[in-house]
Structure 1
Amino acid sequence: MKDIRRTLGGRAFRLAIFSLALAVIAGCAVGPDYVRPQAPQMQEWLEKDDAGLKHGPAELAAWWKRLNDPVLDRLVALAAERNPSLHVAALRILESRARLGIATGNQFPQLQQLQGSVSDTGLSRHNANTTPAIDRYYATASVALDAAWELDFWGRFRRAVESGAWSVDAAMAGYDDLLVTLTAEVARVYVTLRTLEQRLFIAHENVALQERSLQIARVLHQGGDVTELDVTQAAALLAGTQASIPRLEAQLRQSKNGLSALLGMLPGEADRILGGPGPVPQVPSEVAVGVPAELLRRRPDIRLAEAQMAAQCALIGVAQADLYPRFSLFGTIGLSASNAALTFAGYPGGSSLGDLWSGESLQYSGGLGFGWDIFNYGRITNNVRVQDARFQQLVEQYKNIVLTAARETEDALTAFSRSREEVAFLEQGVAAATRSVEISMIQYREGLADFQRVLDTQRSKVQVQDQLTATQGSVLTNLIATYKALGGGWEFRFGKDFLPQEILREMSGRTDWGALLESSVSGETDGGSRE
């Protein structure tokens, strides 16, 4: 027994030393190291001279709060908590973390399996007669630990871990990108419905004004001062204005239903949060937009594209590792016993299964193996090419996303600046149209102007008032588009759970998630990619 232990210990020691030497040699990893590609980048915004834009650090972390609307603040918070699509993005983070755990585990012995068996054997009489040294009936018991470890000689598993870590970053960036889109969409829909409420209010005001004009025309017609044409024209104008109200009400209902969906609610459930009609939020006097260079760090879709690109770069190394031999350590150690009576070669008979736990039942084997796909007919090389082509596709996609980000930001800034200028002109137009209606009504009652003049001024007022209200809403939606294009809003997740507690409890009750669910709180990082 001591000789076996001494022999086993000596061989195990030499095997461990050899494994350590291989691990030292395996300090390199095949395949390219990721380097961020160069992408076209603007030095300054084209709208830099606009008086309403500040060039200091962008104020984007919770940009909607700059609109000073408590209802909007509440809606954004509810959407971040309840939106199902955002929950899916959070679950992708958990999935990517679990996949990273698989890749990390592959760096260690891939097989560590405890096996045991008990078998009962009965030989045929013919076989027993041909091997008289063995009992015809006997039982065998064994227990063993099998282990196998493919050494990471060429960095296959390290590259897989690298790819998995970047995939976690990609999942995080995907969550942030959806959060940016969600907050912007909630704000846009909210501004749209508040604008529709204001347009409905103005439409009802104009209906009241036109009803008074119609009444005046009827009175004058009955007195013989005007013809029936004035009455019919007044009635036609009134009917046209009244017809706009159902259309606006339908759009308002649809906007509220859309808002309910963003909040993870059924249609109508968001109404209690909105309350009655409210004012359109006010545009801040100045908007800080920062500099174009911040887009690469701030916009989650750019960070997502880079993380996907880096993860794919590591997969090139995984594929290249298949071009080289694989080295593995393997071994088995265990106990085995049988009650078969051996009566040849000097073996005494009478052993039993109870000897399984004795020192004489120890057995082991182990060694070093390698495998090399030397004839693969181009499969491995072409797989490397496939991975490299996919990487280059992502490089070009990354550059395109950077270009798209710059275009979207410039488009939003231009629309915001020009729509504010449009509002200034429309405000002058509304003031003039309102005064024109007053003058035409006075002149009409005094017989100094015909009714067509009254109709024209009222029609002009309806149009310019509605256009002003819609444009005021456009200023806000263009501002929201600017904040979205700048990548604002994802910092809202800092210090919060990615998933609601009820989902976490449901998952933990179904599956052992260990520390992955415990770490479901968002980390307070700047969102920058790995270097």
Structure 2
Amino acid sequence: MSNMSIKTILYLFAGVFFLTGCKVGEKYKQPNLNTPDSFRSAWTTDEGDSSLSQIEWRNFFNDSNLITLIDSGLSHNYDIRIALKNIEIANRNLRINKLNYLPAVDANIATVNQQYRSKDFYGSASSKWYEQKGKKAPESMAKYQSQYATGLEFSWELDIWGKIGQEGDVLKASWLDTKEAKTAIQTKLIADIATGYFNLLMLDAQIEVAKRNLQLNDSTLRMIKLQFDAGEITALAIQQTESQRLVAASLIPDLEKEITIQENSLRMLVGDMPAAVNRNNTLNDSLINFDQDISLGSPLDIIRNRPDIKQAEYALVAANAQMNVAQIMRYPSISLSGVFGVNAMLAKNWFNIPGALLGGIAGGVTAPVFRNKKLKNQYEVAKIEREKVELDFQRRVMEAVGEVSNTIITVEKQKEQLNLAEERVSNSELAVKNASLLFKSGYATYLEVITAQSNALKSELDLVELKQRQLNACVTLYRSLGGGWR
């Protein structure tokens, strides 16, 4: 190629750069989320208090067995391990995008091209090849073309509109999304392990209540039988007392079944085969470091802390970049291509230097003119898709604020219920004691004793369940505020 041709191409590209060398598309800007200044709650704390979401999960829980389980889950849980693989894939895709700014180069190691044509073909045979061989070209299946080539070829699309950068923004958002997906899995895993562990402690406490109540029923039954033998009561009293005893006894195998299933579920959560789970504490112990002197933070903090909210925003960033890419596709594109190597008609001249040398460079500017409005439609659809993702982002923020507000009121009101439940248990225990004394003295019937014991069993089981629900509500509040991933 002559110097004049190369200069023409360079002038062409320089002119295009000066005339159109600008970035296309809208830069991402976080939409107005209309978050309130505070959550709907009577929970008030000083501004200087540390936020609940900022507490590291190891410091939030106060049970060594639970912390050991969570540690094992974070290392061996299959969802966590799959999420790490997704991060690795996204990281590779992000790194490779940076190389798109460079030209693509291919090496043609060896190309042999032999074409044959017969007399009715409109072209003539390769006369030079037959002259070299000292032969006359035949009328049928004459060698039409003979070519032996080796060289380098390159192609390069110049990113004058910022297309590669926008595609990089999509990949970066995808990479960040996978990281937040792993974080979301971690926070859910920690909450699930804690919930399962507290449920296991609740079942332990309930089976203790059932066994203790069974012993009480056994004692009552012996007393009823003595009075029956003395002729003071009928056989109906024995039958009803025995029925009450069987109610308590039937709870035990059912609770033992639930304990085994819960232990197996916890083991599978942490990536282990079904087995027993160690626990030394009870629901009466301080299992989490939680009190109402800790600040809840503001609704705006949710956007910075919650991985699912950040995922929604990264999806919006990606949609914004995709919209920009769709817009860039409507603009002219500039490309360079070239080849350098050797090319000969005869194998013996394949590497004949300089006779077989081949070189070329080409440049082009192409622009879509008429595509049946497909490119415009793709851009308009991308704009609508971006609007959809933005609405989803705003909806998720609203739902997160609502979730926190609901959990706060749950924690507050369940604390009141706990106080009432504890009073109820104390009252039912006193009723059992008094009913037994009155029955022995002849001032109460066996039905009053049975009723008192039934109420005591139910009130104790309800108290244990309420303690577990309160612990779970505290964990839910911790997670919904964005805690658990540090």
Give the alignment's TM-score, normalised by structure 1.
0.81
CA contact (8 A) 2:154 2:339 kept: yes
| Aligned CA distance change for structure 1 residues 229 and 319 (closer, same or farther; 3 Å) | same
Aligned partner of 1:313 among 312, 316, 320: 320
Q: Which amino acid aligns with 1:314?
A: A
CA distance 1:212–1:64, change in 2 (3 Å)? farther
Q: Distance in 2 between matches of 1:409 and 1:252?
A: 31
- 2:370 is the alignment partner of 1:367: no
State the identity as a percent. 21
Number of the residue aligned with 1:101: 95
1:221 lines up with 2:214 in the alignment: no
Q: What is aligned with 1:286? A: 291
Distance 2:391 2:76 in 1: 35
Matched, 1:79 2:78: no
Q: Is the 8 A contact 1:197 1:277 kept in 2?
A: no
Q: 1:305 to 1:297 in 2, by over 3 A?
A: same
What secondary structure, in the 3-state scheme, does the structure 2 residue paired with 1:490 have? coil
Residue aligned with 2:52, SS: coil
- Match for 1:431 among 401, 426, 431? 426
Gaps of 5+ in 2: 136-142
Asked if 1:179 corresponds to 2:172, the answer is no
C-alpha distance in 1, partners of 2:111/2:60? 74
1:407 aligns with 2:402: yes
Q: 1:191 aligns to what?
A: 198
Structure 2 residue 411 is matched with structure 1 residue 416: yes
For residue 385 of structure 1, the aligned residue among 369, 380, 384 is: 380
Q: Which residue of 1 aligns with 2:138?
A: none
RMSD value, Cα: 2.8
CA distance in 2, matches of 1:406, 1:97: 32
Q: Which one of the candidate residues 109, 113, 117 is aligned to 2:106?
A: 113
What do residues 363-392 of structure 1 show as CA deviations (whole Å, max 9, x unaligned)? 211121122221110111111112111111
Cα drift, residue 179 of structure 1? 1.0
User: What residue number does 1:482 align with?
Assistant: 477
CA separation of 1:195/1:11 partners in 2, compared to 1, >3 Å: closer, same or farther?
Answer: same
* TM-score, normalised via structure 2 length: 0.88
Equivalent-residue separation in structure 2 for 1:409 and 1:53 (angstroms): 18
Q: Which amino acid is 2:108 matched to? A: Q
Report what 1:141 is aligned to: 148
Residue 353 of structure 1 is matched in structure 2 by 349
Contact 2:309 2:396 in 1 (8 A): yes
Question: In 2 relative to 1, CA 258–321 (structure 1 residues): closer, same or farther, beyond 3 Å?
Answer: same
Look up the match of 1:236: 243
Partners of 2:259 and 2:308 lie apart in 1 by 31
| Greater Cα offset, 398-407 or 51-60 | 51-60
Question: 2:52 touches 2:478 (CA, 8 Å); kept in 1?
Answer: no
CA drift of 1:439 comes to 1.2
Selected match of 1:454 from 449, 455, 468: 449
CA-CA distance at 1:17 after TM superposition: 7.6
1:265 aligns with 2:272: yes
Is 1:253 aligned to residue 256 of structure 2?
no
2:53, 2:479 within 8 Å by CA — same for their partners in 1? no
- 2:439 equivalent in structure 1: 444
411-420 vs 49-58, greater mean Cα deviation: 49-58
* Cα distance between partner residues in 1 of 2:370 and 2:113: 44
Whole-angstrom CA distance in 2 between matches of 1:376 and 1:120: 36
For residues 266 and 465 of structure 1, what CA distance do their matches in structure 2 show?
A: 33
Q: Given residue 207 of structure 2, which amino acid in structure 1 is its aligned partner?
A: L
Shift of 1:72: 0.6
Q: What are the Cα deviations for residues 273-303 of structure 1, in whole angstroms up to 9, with x where unaligned?
A: x236641252545142222221110011110
Match of 1:519 in 2: none
Cα deviation, 1:295-318, whole Å, max 9, x if unaligned, reads 110011110000011011001111
- Equivalent in the alignment of 2:466: 471
CA distance in structure 2 between the aligned counterparts of 1:202 and 1:73, rounded to whole angstroms: 27
Residues 51-87 of structure 1 show CA distances to partners (whole Å, capped at 9, x for unaligned) of: 8999542354423533310011011111111111122
Q: Does 1:376 align with 2:371?
A: yes
The CA distance in 2 between the partners of 1:64 and 1:113, in whole Å, is 54
SS in structure 1 opposite 2:343? strand
Residue type at the aligned position of 1:181: K
Paired AA for residue 204 in structure 1: K
- Distance in 1 (alpha carbons) for counterparts of 2:461 and 2:282: 15
SS of residue matched to 1:410: helix
- Structure 2 partner of 1:518: none
Equivalent in 318, 330, 336 of residue 329 of structure 1:
336
Name the SS for the 1:187 alignment partner: helix
What residue identity is the alignment partner of 1:256? E
Contact in 1 for aligned 2:439/2:449 (Cα 8 Å): yes
Distance in 1 (CA, whole Å) between partners of 2:250 and 2:203 is 15
Question: Which region of structure 1 is more displaced relative to structure 2, 236-245 or 126-135?
Answer: 126-135
Closer, same or farther: CA 302–122 of 1 in aligned 2, 3 Å: closer
CA pair 237-149 structure 1, distance change in 2 beyond 3 A: same
Structure 2: distance between partners of 1:460 and 1:125: 106
Does the CA contact (< 8 Å) of 2:157 and 2:335 recur in 1? yes
Q: 1:229 to 1:169 in 2, by over 3 A?
A: same
Please give the alpha-carbon distance, in whole angstroms, between the structure 2 residues aligned to 1:78 and 1:96. 26
Q: CA deviation at 1:200?
A: 0.7
Q: In structure 2, the residue corresponding to 1:149 is in which secondary structure?
A: strand
Displacement after TM superposition at 1:93 (Å) = 1.3
Structure 1 gaps, min length 5: 341-351, 492-531
Q: Is the 8 A contact 1:155 1:317 kept in 2?
A: no
- Distance in 1, matches of 2:337 and 2:303, equals 48
